[in-house]
Chains A and B, each alone.
Chain A
Amino acid sequence: MVTKKEWLDKFSKSRQLEQKFTTISDADIDPLYTPENLADFDAEKDLGFPGQYPYTRGVQSTMYRGRTWTMRQFAGFGNPKQTNERFHYLLGNGQTGLSTAFDFPTLYGRDSDDVRSRGEVGKCGVAIDTLHDMEILFDRIPLDKVTTSMTINPPAAIVWAMYLAVAEKQGVTWDKVGGTIQNDMLKEFIAQKTWIFPPQPHLKIITDILAFASENVPRWNTISISGYHIREAGSTAVQELAFTLGDGMTYVRAGIDAGLDPDVFAPRLSFFFNAHSDFFEEIAKYRAARRIWARFMKEEIGAKDPRSWLLRFHTQTAGCSLTAQQPLNNIVRTTIQALSAVLGGTQSLHTNSMDETLALPTERAVQVALRTQQIIAEESGVTNTIDPLGGSYFIESLTDRMEAEALAYIRKIDEMGGMLKAIENGYPQTEISKAAYHYQRQVESNEKTVVGVNKYVNDEPIDLDLLYIDEQVEKDQIASLQKVKSERDNAAVDRALAELKRAAVEGRNVMPPILDCVRRYASLGEMVNTLRDVYGEYQDPAYL
């Protein structure tokens, strides 16, 4: 019987490729993992069973034997009618949930006729100004049957109120309405960089939403604590894990400080991770995330309800990994990434389309992306057994290591005085931009391979039909907003906006007055401007 030492001896004397063996995040990987790597590993304590603490193997006891993940393609462009048509197309092709992309003016709380919105309307997502637009967006979509995720952050309270108002108009009571608002402002300051007010008022509105949802919309996921954008901004896998969970911990403490019971709001927190190209690193990341969160919620926060310990998450494949060159290769990248999310136990998944480095996806491209998920779910056989990689020496070692490295980051942030302080100091922002630059340098020096970019390059022209958003969309949307403004009861709108301002000044929960403004067809920009008067505006500190 050969010992590991003897094997290693033989290995190191043999010829090996002259390259570093590292993950895409530049973490060193050993040539072989053996039981020795798991000397301190306690399968009962560190692994448990699916649906059992610490949930390393998955949050449900049945996982995909009980229900396949939700297939939820992020969609939105042009005006509400165009996006409504895309929603029906996706549902007609077997998609099981909706996910809404808003345009930049909407994400940033500006109306389509705002001077800062010029050239942006309907470009990166759908334009929403008033409840009227939201009624068109969800036309013929029963909100008691379909759940909707909305990627909306600074004005999340307002857009959510619009969705709830549409449900009212459909005669659907709020206890039957399910879905998610992203509503994760900390990662906005760290990575995605859409903000309106300074961090403190944003955090206050988030706690208002937590309180309102737990009383009125019990099936709603109130924050989608997101690592996706952190990773897209260039972080490593461990940074994504650490900053995302650090943000989650900050929200839980903020909720408790606002007088809320964690067992009331924590079960409605969900997470959102990136699926990047390094297959095993990603799988280990999801498993480590579940374990860190469960231990934090149970042991540090003392939450009693097991539902508070669960890290449920959505995954999106990595947009930043896709290449403009040889775009059909992106289908393969997305497939590998999606498979890592499934083997990591995701609850819902978006697969990117092959053309997304160039434009928003065409119907044809998005259909291939959706079919990729359907093939994984229904042809590949990977859903037959739960956590099939559990117990692998490599996967368990990597899970342990990523957990330890993420916890070290989280401790460092705690020592800085918490995540808000760390963000003020530009700490996560500069860690990410350093990592992004480091990776780009590695690609340019051919230390990291990107097929079609720095290896196997050809000069074939890009031959894809692309979606093009016409400038007419902006003109039509402005005309539609003006029509709504001329037909509504403007005196009632003014009164509702004045009451919203009073609530903000007095520190009351802003959800009820926002709902009142929404029902009277006040515009997104009018509500945000009212709140901006009270809360002030945040400026980019421009950390390089």
Chain B
Amino acid sequence: MKRTIRILVGKPGLDGHDRGAKIVARALRDAGYEVIYTGLHQTPEMIVNTAIQEDVDAIGLSILSGAHNHLFPEVIRLLKDKGVDDIVVFGGGIIPEQDIAGLKEAGVAAVFTPGTTLQAIVDFIESNVANRTI
């Protein structure tokens, strides 16, 4: 039997803009996934620890302050350190076009920028997370 996909929605960094993270969390929950929301102002260490404790399949990171170039790769580095880099990391927020290639190179599977539909995020999980975890 296929177990329910578990997704951690995380807010790294100092910004308090949680509208997007909460909407995405609710949409993923409505799509049938188990969703854990970290709350605000998380360090990469806190996010990775929660991801391991909660045994999640994917982490969605939301950031609107511009600190993505530091914080997204840091989460991925820590996942590798702990040997859990099979967890799929995706992210979103106010992320300039010119930063996206670097983030993908660092291991971020998808970057969702303003104007993304909730369906596009659910579709991403379906094809990149749901299909690979049996």
Whether A associates with B in a native complex is yes
Binding site for B on A (CB under 8 A): 104-105, 107-108, 110, 116-120, 123-124, 188, 192-194, 232-234, 320, 323-325, 357-359, 433, 436-437, 440, 444, 453, 462, 466, 468-469, 471, 539-542, 544
The CA of A403 and the CA of B86, in the complex, are separated in Å by 53
CB distance from A398 to the nearest CB of B (A): 26
Q: B91 at interface (Cβ–Cβ under 8 A)?
A: no
- Contacts of B10-62 to chain A: CB distance below 8 A: 13-19, 22-23, 25-27, 37-41, 43
From known contacts A193-B16, A544-B25, infer whether A116 and B94 are also in contact, taking CB-CB under 8 Å. no
Q: B71 at interface (Cβ–Cβ under 8 A)?
A: yes
The CA of A519 and the CA of B15, in the complex, are separated in Å by 29
Q: B114 at interface (Cβ–Cβ under 8 A)?
A: yes
Could you tell me if A193 and B69 are in contact, using CB atoms closer than 8 angstroms? Answer: no
Could you tell me if A358 and B39 are in contact, using CB atoms closer than 8 angstroms? Answer: no
Q: B83 at interface (Cβ–Cβ under 8 A)?
A: no
Residues of A within 8 A of B117 (CB): 444
Main SS of chain B's interface residues?
Answer: loop
The CA of A120 and the CA of B15, in the complex, are separated in Å by 9
Could you tell me if B98 and A234 are in contact, using CB atoms closer than 8 angstroms? Answer: no
The residue of chain A having its C-beta at the shortest distance from the C-beta of B15 within the complex is: A104
Residues of B within 8 A of A440 (CB): 23, 27, 118
Residues of B within 8 A of A541 (CB): 39
Could you tell me if A357 and B114 are in contact, using CB atoms closer than 8 angstroms? Answer: yes
CB distance from B93 to the nearest CB of A (A): 11
Which listed residue (B23, B27, B69) contacts A119, Cβ 8 A? B69
Residues of B within 8 A of A234 (CB): 19, 23
The CA of A180 and the CA of B66, in the complex, are separated in Å by 26
Could you tell me if B98 and A433 are in contact, using CB atoms closer than 8 angstroms? Answer: no
The CA of A318 and the CA of B49, in the complex, are separated in Å by 37
CB distance from B110 to the nearest CB of A (A): 16
Q: B4 at interface (Cβ–Cβ under 8 A)?
A: no
9 cross-chain pairs, A with B, having the tightest CB-CB distances, nearest first: A119-B70, A193-B16, A542-B39, A123-B66, A119-B67, A540-B39, A324-B114, A104-B14, A540-B40
Could you tell me if B19 and A104 are in contact, using CB atoms closer than 8 angstroms? Answer: no
Q: Number of B interface residues, CB 8 Å?
A: 35
The residue of chain A having its C-beta at the shortest distance from the C-beta of B95 within the complex is: A358
Could you tell me if B67 and A118 are in contact, using CB atoms closer than 8 angstroms? Answer: yes
Residues of B within 8 A of A359 (CB): 94, 96
The CA of A119 and the CA of B65, in the complex, are separated in Å by 9
Among B26, B113, B115, B119, which residue has the most Cβ atoms of chain A within 10 A? B115
The residue of chain A having its C-beta at the shortest distance from the C-beta of B72 within the complex is: A119
Residues of B within 8 A of A320 (CB): 19
Residues of B within 8 A of A116 (CB): 14, 43
The CA of A233 and the CA of B66, in the complex, are separated in Å by 18
CB distance from B121 to the nearest CB of A (A): 11
What are 27 A-B pairs at a CB distance below 8 A? A104-B67, A105-B14, A108-B41, A116-B43, A118-B67, A118-B70, A119-B13, A120-B13, A120-B70, A124-B15, A192-B16, A193-B17, A193-B18, A194-B16, A234-B19, A234-B23, A357-B114, A359-B96, A433-B26, A444-B118, A462-B97, A468-B98, A540-B41, A541-B39, A542-B37, A542-B39, A544-B26
Among A188, A233, A234, A544, which residue has the most Cβ atoms of chain B within 10 A? A544
Could you tell me if B96 and A466 are in contact, using CB atoms closer than 8 angstroms? Answer: yes
Which listed residue (A123, A323, A539, A540) contacts B67, Cβ 8 A? A123
Residues of A within 8 A of B37 (CB): 542, 544
The CA of A232 and the CA of B26, in the complex, are separated in Å by 18
Residues of B within 8 A of A469 (CB): 66
Could you tell me if A108 and B14 are in contact, using CB atoms closer than 8 angstroms? Answer: yes
Which listed residue (B18, B71, B96) contacts A358, Cβ 8 A? B96
